A = this chain, B = another copy of it.
Amino acid sequence: MDLELKYLKLKEHFKNAKVIESCAELIGWDERTNMPPQGADLRALQNSALSKLHHDLVTESWLGDALNELASESVNLPADSDICVNVREWIRVFTRANKIPVTLVQEFSKTFVYSQQAWQDARSQNNFVLFQPWLEKIIDLKRHEAKCLANGQVSYDALLDDYEPGATSLELDSIFYPLKDSIIKVLHSCSKENKRNLILGNYPEQKQKIFSEIIAGYCGFDFNAGRLDTTAHPFCCGIGPGDCRITTRFNPADFSSGLFGVLHEAGHGLYEQGLDPDHFGLPTGTAVSLGIHESQSRLLENQVGRSLEFWRFIYPLAIKFFPDQLSNIPLETFHKSINQVRPGFIRVDADEVTYNLHIIFRYELEKDLLSQNLSVKDLPDAWKAKMKTYLDLVPDNDATGCLQDIHWSAGLFGYFPTYLLGNLYAAQFIEKAKKVIGWNSNCLNLDVLSELRQWLKKNIHLKGKRLLPGKLCENVTGEKLDKKYFEQYLMQKFNS
């Protein structure tokens, strides 16, 4: 069949491009786990070569006609058929990539190696000035990129679209600002009693790692098809089928910090491991958006990992691992301790309530940086002012302030809001999941975890990019994304 043959040719081509991308992923993982300090120059060359190659592959001139032909010939097939989904997404990739000159792509990929090194130095030396020129350069590049992409669109939206297809800042504003008020309401109603220190102690790192691996394994992360490493900045890297890598950092004083990091990344990992391996390299075998991706990590970290019923299941094991530290702490006290709400400087250590405020003010700041309403040199002060407004805190240095996150150094503008979208999706998904699987408030054991994973895999992971994120949410939960689920979740859990 002619259509089928044309489709096969494109499939092969885009799969090849994805294999090159997966090499870049692996090299990126290595950069953050293993690369020696002096490896940056070579890494910049490698990144640049691979990204140019990928760009060349997805912009080859024959693709335009071939894609159009295929689109018109498949017009009568169901919209969620493999051909229609993949052709739609290939056209999106081809169109986007063709708007961006390859020189810009190469400039990006080189710059990010150095800017991340500069950011690391700046953070460890608590000296924003070391990072400033790099951030300026990155913002220039991102504004250039947005200009290439935007068809009369707001610059920010052109970038956002890369992470959350179809989302706009107008829409985000309309969700985030009312949400902010309800979050602040919850925050004020939370108990001020500090239970967080109760579980502090001395938790050997090696033991933490083994314990975390067992728990991630309970939740379904497959260590035959993945691994866990220790890095300064936790992340998940889904290189491809059979190879998904997560990282965490351990706090010797508090084993829960490393563990929740692992659960978060394992949530991402379950998504990557749950994609259809037969569709590797195709949009139908690729995660739909970062917002949905983040929902999977937040769901495992919070709705599962910080729930009382989960700890009913794993606390006995935790006590076996850390008897000196935990055996005198009752389960309920422990559970309160890991759910302490308290404004703090560091986003990744934030509780489920204040976390969202961290995101909203970063979202505001990055919009201002891109639109040049805020200049890079004024970022440290603007950061402090925002933090004061949102969290009533002022960091006394930039290392725990505007230098804390890796994103801007890596050019990830438009990425932060997906963390909050993830929280909203997670709350809506879990509400639905609880209705259809055997999760009751008693005990979240291996059977329930397995049911939950199967449900997520069937309804979300295996779908790939068949539906846009909003439509996927409707399909899974029967409703459009609605922030009320998250608000209810927070109210129920934290309104004391």
Contact A45 B26 (CB under 8 A): no
A240 CB–B CB distance under 8 Å: yes
Q: State whether A227 and B53 are in contact (beta carbons under 8 Å apart), knowing that A23-B46, A39-B242, A242-B39 are contacts in the complex.
A: no
Q: Which of A217-242 contact B (CB under 8 A)?
A: 222-227, 239-242
A22 CB contact (under 8 Å) in B38, B40, B42? B42
- The proximity string for A residues 8-20 relative to B, scoring 1 for CB distances below 8 Å and 0 otherwise, is 0000000010011
Cross-chain contact B30 with A26 (CB below 8 angstroms): yes
Name the residue of chain B whose CB is nearest to the CB of A243.
Answer: B39
Interchain nearest-CB distance for A229 vs B (Å): 8
Minimum CB distance partner of A225 in chain B: B38
Given contacts A16-B49, A30-B30, A49-B16, contact A242 B23 (CB under 8 A): no
* Contact in complex: A242, B20 (CB < 8 Å): no
For A225, the chain B residues whose CB sits under 8 A away are 36-39
Q: Which residues of B contact A223 (CB under 8 A)?
A: 36
A378–B143 Cα distance when bound, in Å, is 66
Residue among B42, B50, B280 making CB contact with A242, cutoff 8 Å: B42
Scan residues 44-58 of chain A and give those whose CB is less than 8 A from a CB of chain B: 45-46, 49-50, 53
Chain B: CB-nearest residue to A46: B23
What's the interface size class on A, roughly? Answer: 35 or more
Q: Which 8 A-B residue pairings sit nearest by Cβ, starting from the closest?
A: A38-B242, A39-B243, A42-B240, A38-B225, A19-B49, A39-B242, A37-B224, A19-B45
B30 and A49 within 8 A (CB)? no
**Who on chain B is nearest to A16 by CB?**
B49
In Å, the complex CA distance between A37 and B222 comes to 11
User: Per DSSP, are chain A's interface residues mostly helix, strand or loop, or mixed?
Assistant: helix
The CA of A226 and the CA of B34, in the complex, are separated in Å by 9
Determine which of B45, B46, B242 lies in contact with A41 in the assembled complex, contact meaning CB atoms within 8 Å: B242
Answer yes or no: A35 CB below 8 A from chain B CBs: yes
How far does the Cβ of A49 sit from chain B's closest Cβ, in whole Å? 4
Q: How far is the CA of A226 from the CA of B36 in the complex (A)?
A: 5
A27 at the interface (CB under 8 A from B): yes
21 CB-based A-B contacts, threshold 8 Å: A16-B49, A19-B45, A20-B53, A22-B42, A23-B23, A23-B27, A23-B46, A27-B27, A36-B223, A36-B224, A36-B242, A37-B224, A38-B224, A38-B242, A40-B242, A41-B242, A42-B239, A42-B242, A42-B280, A43-B243, A45-B240
Q: Given contacts A42-B239, A242-B42, is CB(A23)–CB(B50) below 8 Å?
A: yes
Looking at the assembled complex, report how far the CB atom of A158 sits from the nearest CB atom of chain B, in whole angstroms.
Answer: 30
Q: Which B residues lie within 8 Å of A35 (CB)?
A: 243
What's the minimum C-beta distance from A141 to chain B, rounded to whole angstroms? 21
A residues 400-434 near B (Cβ < 8 Å) are none
Question: In residues 24-81 of chain A, which contact B (Cβ within 8 Å)?
Answer: 26-27, 30, 34-43, 45-46, 49-50, 53
Q: Are A42 and B241 in contact, with the CB atoms below 8 A? A: yes
The minimal Cβ–Cβ distance linking A285 to chain B, given in whole angstroms, is: 12
B residues in contact with A242, CB < 8 Å:
36-42
Docked pose: A40 CA to B26 CA in angstroms: 14
Residues of B within 8 A of A26 (CB): 26-27, 30, 46
